[in-house]
Amino acid sequence: MSLSAREARLGWGLLAPALAWTFAFFVLPFAAMVALSFARMEGRTIVPAADPGNYLRILTEPAMRGALVNSLEITLVVTLVSAVLAYPLAAIIAFRVPRRWQRLALLAAVLPFWTSYVVRSYAWLLVLGQNGIVNRLLTGLNIVAEPLEIASTRAATIIGFVHFFVMLLTLTIYASLVQLPPSYARAAADLGAGRWATFRHVILPLTLPGVVTGAFLTFVLCIGDYITPQILGGNTELTLPQLIMLQLGRSGNFPLASALSVVLMIVVSLAYAASARWLRLDRI
C-alpha cells in the first residue's frame, strides 16, 4: 500500500519537529565537533585546518592510548559484572516476589538513582576507605591484619559503577522476564528439560534483548563517565572522559578534546553495531 502525496506530506510535517530538533542539537554540533577535531593549536590559539595531527596523537601517545584502553577495560568489566548480578535479582523480583510487591521491590532496586551521583560516589569513598566500614569489618573480624587499599583504585571505580548499573540492568531484564509467558517454561518441562536446560535454551535466549539493551546503556553511560573514576579511582589512572576534561578545563585544547570525543563516539557506535541485533530500546 503506497501513501498518497497528501499523506506523505502530512507524515513529513509531523516528522519535521523531530528532524529539526535532531539536526539542531545533534547533527550540527556533531559536525562542528568533527570539523574542530581537525583544527590545530598554535600557542593558545585555535587555527582552523584539515590536520589529522590530533588523531595521530591519540594513536601514538602512550598516555592517550592508555586512557582508551583503561576506559574499555573498566567498561567491559562493569558491564559484565552488572549483568551477572542483575539477572538473578531481576529473576527473583519477576518470579519469586508476589505480583503486588513487585513494584515495591523495583522501587527499592532503583532507590540509588534518587541520590546525587557525586554524593553517592563520595559515600562509596567513605565506605571503601582505609577507615571505612568495609575495612573496619575486615580488620574487626581478623580477616585481614591491615586495612585493604580499596579506595583510589580501579576496584573502587568498578564497585561504584556496578552499584549504579545493576539497577539499570535489573529494570531492562525484569521488563523482558515479565513478558515471557509462563507456558514456555511449562512446555519445556513437559518435553523433559530440567531447570538449567529450560533457562539456557528457552528463558535466556528470549530475554537476551533485555540483557543486551541494559548492557548497551551501561556501556554508553559507563564509558562516558568521568566523575566516578575521578572520585573513587583517585585519579590514579586516566580514562578517556577524564582526558577530554583535562583538554577542555586545563589546556583549552578544543581540537584535541573534539578528536577524543569523536573517538569516544566511534567506540559507542561500534558497541551499538555489535549489539544492534538484540537491542530493544523500545522496551525500556
State the residues that interact with other proteins by CB under 8 A.
28-29, 31-32, 35-36, 39, 41, 43-44, 46, 48, 62-64, 66-67, 70, 122, 125-126, 129-132, 149, 151-152, 230-231, 234-238, 242-243, 246, 248-254
Q: Which of 268, 250, 222, 243 is nearest to 58 (CA)?
A: 243
In the complex, minimum distance from the CB of residue 163 to other proteins, in angstroms, rounded to a whole number: 18
Q: Which is nearer to other proteins, 138 or 180 (CB)?
A: 138
In the complex, minimum distance from the CB of residue 129 to other proteins, in angstroms, rounded to a whole number: 5
Q: Which is nearer to other proteins, 194 or 252 (CB)?
A: 252
Q: Which is nearer to other proteins, 39 or 202 (CB)?
A: 39
**Cα separation values, 279 from 176, 179, 215, 271, 275, Å:** 12, 16, 10, 11, 6
Q: Which is nearer to other proteins, 13 or 62 (CB)?
A: 62
In the complex, minimum distance from the CB of residue 184 to other proteins, in angstroms, rounded to a whole number: 49
Q: How far is 82 from 217, CA to CA, in rounded Å?
A: 12
In the complex, minimum distance from the CB of residue 259 to other proteins, in angstroms, rounded to a whole number: 13
Q: How far is 169 from 216, CA to CA, in rounded Å?
A: 10
Q: Which is nearer to other proteins, 199 or 254 (CB)?
A: 254
In the complex, minimum distance from the CB of residue 208 to other proteins, in angstroms, rounded to a whole number: 36
